[in-house]
Chain A
Amino acid sequence: MNKQYDVIIIGGGATGAGVARDCALRGIKALLIERHDIATGATGRNHGLLHSGARYAVNDRESAEECIKENMILRRIAAHCVEDTGGIFISLPEDGLDFQAKFIESCLAAGISAEAIDPKQAIALEPSVNPSLIGAVKVPDGSVDPFRLTAANILDAKLHGADVLTYTLVEELIIESGKVVGVKVVDTVTKERSEYRASITVNACGIWGRDLAAKAGVTINMLPAKGALLVFGHRVNNVVINRCRKPADADILVPGDNITVIGTTSSKVPFDQCDDMYVTREEVDLLLREGSMLAPALNYTRILRAYAGVRPLVASDDDPSGRSVSRGIVVLDHATRDGVEGFVTITGGKLMTYRLMAEWTVDLICKKLNIDAKCTTAEALLPGSTTPDAGCKRTTACFSGAKSSAFYRHGDKAQQIDHSTAAKRALVCECEQVSVGEVEYAVGKLGVTNLVDLRRRTRMGMGTCQGSLCAARAAAVMATTSGCSSAEAKSNLKSFIAERWKGMSAVAWGDTLREGELLSWLYDGVCDLSNLNTTEE
């Protein structure tokens, strides 16, 4: 592997992946470094909403305009990651209709189509919606899978010459004569240390960017705003449902794959909690209370799990809610801002604008490196979406079973999955229809090193059983495919089960508690993973 690059990008979320891809497409030699797997931070811990921008139209015109532009771009370049569900903003009796008029006007001004429909039409469009609604507005919301989107960006970056290191932690920035010239890293698995050098180092670490910047002696005043969400056990709604009022907690209900997500809350959390988010009872109460105002069925739908992410908001003042802070994009050239050459921070923004954030960052890089290359990421289609019908097949059941599920997840890249024999077609995960072939593809081509990575690429273990039926199977298949030792595979299985339970324990009642009891019986009882045999290591 090279030791010298034009650009080193730290952070493997959507933004970092987008920067790596943009660099690669412009012929800039880039290395992306991520301490965990890709999309493990805020990227993978949100609604997966393809914002139309309508939510921001009234209060933040700039964000709204960015959203609708990126919305249209993503539908084209990432068709296999996007589902065109459409969205509605509903007004309930207690909301009144005053906001609606202003809302429609603001949407139209920002270039977002917004059509008022009467309550009956709204119910016909989305039968799960609260029937007591008094008004609704149709907007071009959709859903987007952030894991797939990030994976596709990484894949394309690599195809165009970028290098990617996951499970690699940046311990130090190498600073020479006041200039950041590289990084000292440690492989978190092998503990091997190495150094990489580049003309420019990009901080794309989200909320963790504050600590990275500190390594260069730079202060970024960030506000960690926690957002908690709940996943429901089936697809309650087919159209995104929002509340037509000033943005508040738990007022977006997004369908995705086989599930529905309600969110989010917003609360300030200390930095030391950002690595271990836990959803509290109060947050669950709030999400359920407000969520059932959008779709009453949530009151009696099984909650699969709870999760939370941290928004990397750049604070101008100490707003306790973190909600009135602009979600705007922040690009910091630390040369001009702090007198530190060779160091750039990209933060703020949102999943929707990851591509634009990358474009602005790489524009700055080009300027600094005197490179004359135009951004093409708004036109160049992502791997998986390069055949014209990738998007349309997504919503059409062309095949049955694992094949169509794989197509849904990987777009035209699914052709690379070996489904030629019965052995390859055998199902590992029944809830989400993940085959042996797909597991092998994920291990071979998508950089999967453990079961949690595999879950992010394939949805293995994300369905109603939360892994209780498929995790052991997947561990065994992965051990064979990746050649890791049995001891590693079993300890990996144990971590996977532990991780699944973390999200279930906050909502452990009803069937979720029963599933938890089964999980415990199977993996702590029958398999006895508490007492992993260490003699074989």
Chain B
Amino acid sequence: MQKTLNNKAWFMVLPVLLIVALNAVVPLMTVVNYSVQDTFGNNVFFFEGTRWFSEVMASERFHGALMRQLFFTGTILAIEIPLGVAIALAMPRSGFWASVCLVLMALPLLIPWNVVGAMWNIYALPDIGLLGFGLNWLGIPYDFTQQPVSAWFTVILMDVWHWTSLVVLLAYAGLQSIDDNYYRAAQIDGASRWAVFRYIQLPKMKHVLTIAVLLRFMDSFMIYTEPFVLTGGGPGNTTTVLSIDLVKAALGEFNLGVASAMSIIYFLMTLLVCWLFYTITMQGEQK
């Protein structure tokens, strides 16, 4: 079938193009320019070529931040996705309690990032916080300001608390869209609970779960505020993830060249993962 195409509609997206150009493309170009130069301020720059890139690629500090970032993102995905699906499966399908569950689930998502960080900071303080004091009272040595393991535990628990709801809501929406006839057919065939999940619910949730993984990956890969408010990247630099390290280099040390090179490498990593997810999702849909 030959579709009639009206290309005038493209003019409608011109304002968006202009906004994106001003708030994304121009700053990105500036970052590229900074990444090959050195400056001592006063808008005086010295060309350095690929020096900052070589430095960043060889720097232990960058490798450390990257590894911590990958560990953080991998861990929260491994917890939040299965947990979110499990909660969505356990939620009532309709009625009063379904609404109550949805509202309760949406609550953590409404709280601003810095408030979440501050809340958890107080909650986890070993001398006055409910969590910190409680754990110590139980005889578990816990102090997120001093022990790396405690700090990691708190950062991950905080992210799981804040963002599992997003996975729950997406998975719940996916489950709601499944036609009742599928369940009836499964009942007639005498399918087990696991078989219903494996062959009906999971395939139907595939798309929303891909979106959930993509959103959680991107958000956690760029996470800054919550761990910054909670631990400030410490103790030492044990919870310093990429964005915290980047801000330290750019705004703490005014190392604009190194920070720009780091930004570009960071950007390339996100771009690659987004492209992979996008391609897999789109090609999966076409099939």
A and B: bona fide binding partners: no
B residues with a Cβ closer than 8 A to A are none
Question: Which residues of A are interface residues toward B (Cβ below 8 A)?
Answer: none
